[in-house]
Structure 1
């Protein structure tokens, strides 16, 4: 099939590359001329494991191309995906749909023959109706249908998620779109990946409901971590104890500094606003947003407390800046609030991240950047593990201790065990694990 992807950002580029790998003829369109030129040279503007190779192989095979010419790309397409950004709108938190609306108007002008228009961007309920109305008003003669097909891609594992999805949700109101979407996803459908057809508004709600629930699950275990610290419990054991219940599941139960990234912060906020608009307030999601915002700032205070309550003039080493490992995405990363709190308290911050430092420089001021983890620890009064990159999971703790001025390790991801850290001569502070609680291994046996 001939597929056009409007938007060559994270979702559009990953989806376009994967569709082309299925054998479809895909054209990715973006208004950013420099981005298109880089993509044509094989330079990927985002860090996503495996994406550079996937793009190169399919571009070489002639199945994947890039252009700024939306009209020509749309006129020859069977299916046009809208994969543009929907950031939070300044002032009210609603999803900014201006890019979606503009794309719909531009698509309408170029339509030629029956075309399925698919919203891949994360959009509030009713946006498909808006897209349909814009196209119909712009081109009353156009023969088209509008479908919702939300993405469920995790940054750092997006290709795997696309090719081996838990489910594929397709929301439609016109049954003419069904065989077209079945053909688009036929390679996955033959592998029995669940292809779920719903109404268009239902599909739009599924995306927000999924992200809202996962954000709420993260926030729940973070609040349990606070209780564990005060009550003498171990949040990791609590998480395992409840995660073994199939009704709950173990994923998204890792206590830490709060969620960030491109999806959860803006989608939970947009879901709250949608509930308010429809006079169906979502109190749990409202609380989730508030607790998560507070959580990030509280982690800054936790680090200050670990340093004796005063960090003025002290050097704090930060390991990990991106909101999660295997990405260079700094959007709403917990590190931003943590570093800001430390700098406001007078600390000198030196940070290292395997992929995120260039992006961090655009959102953080006054931060020194290290060449590796040990350089970040050099001369530091405290070392803080913020993002659990694999490079940070097996540090030479004795070397870390020797490099530091004051041997304090604050592990906001619970990567290490207290007895291992203390054996290397470091003071250890973790999340949700009381100081006097014996650590247990994965089988519930006390660690020696």
Structure 2
């Protein structure tokens, strides 16, 4: 089980207002606030007043993420928790039931088996946290980041410590929390044994992080109809490569919008067909070590405005530049998507499948909100104009995507809205010591 709390939830637990004020502004205001809505393009039928949860009329104090290896175990566990919530005077506002994860076959990775509702392999591109086993393998070094990009209390890629909420020593009667470090700059030594820490502030955030959750409805039928109609419309366009199998044209259109084929292989490395068409699926691992700026600077393979290029531009502006990779990695998020069917969405208005988007970041504004506002929904991006993310952007039927080619560009127009926001929240995921501290607040008179 994973528990995460909103700003309102921290207040209900008895955390004093002056301590709450030490949390980042985005977290305190909440995803459903008017200011954040403008940043995230949560307007129109995406606005918070129409959400199933997390909006002004159905705000939440916390979320519980429950995982189990079998349906009976999960149902039993959920029943016990809900009974406890009811007994404490609480209420379950909303439930989302993702579809069970498939078990990878021999030689397969999770990325080959987990698909989002549009049918594309999901969870391929992730940052690699230094110090983890994955990092020790020295693979995909372009994605390596410092722990402080995702965990409070540790240096980030620039050597600074992300801002972390603190509490006075007098509040931590059980000495549950670590001491707050007075220095937040490169070269800081931890801990500092040369000073008296008895009255030092305590670090409530250390080993915690911020969780972003967005429940998204996905219009699979609208997406499939669009790529099918576009394939017919542009079948004879000179930008369509001669090497492409005509049967793959609808998937090619969709791949140009996403930046990958449905099997997870990148357009940068496989421009004319999915990798699994050329090699055994059991031995194929989706590629993620490509540099689009160096390998595809004009976007003739993967369009400059494709979803994956907007979500993580890598070296697009300065080909093969380590400095740009370092800057871009400052905006990375550690994300996971769990698909659900129409029943699992628990949505009476939208009988659609969808995705429960979740990500971790130490700085909501610099990471998640930056990606959403500056890259995904920006109408001007990397020299493009009047285009937004063709998958998650809300173009209102006026979306477009420029697909460059050596024989002239193909301009996809009339891209419809394929995704709708149905609920979400910004949450603080505390460490174990912070959970024990928060659980004792009321008993301590806090």
**Shared fold (TM-score greater than 0.5)?**
no
- The TM-score, its normalising length taken from structure 2, stands at 0.26
Structure whose residues are more often helix by fraction: 1
- The TM-score, its normalising length taken from structure 1, stands at 0.26
Larger relative contact order (Cα-Cα within 8 Å, sequence gap ≥ 6): 2
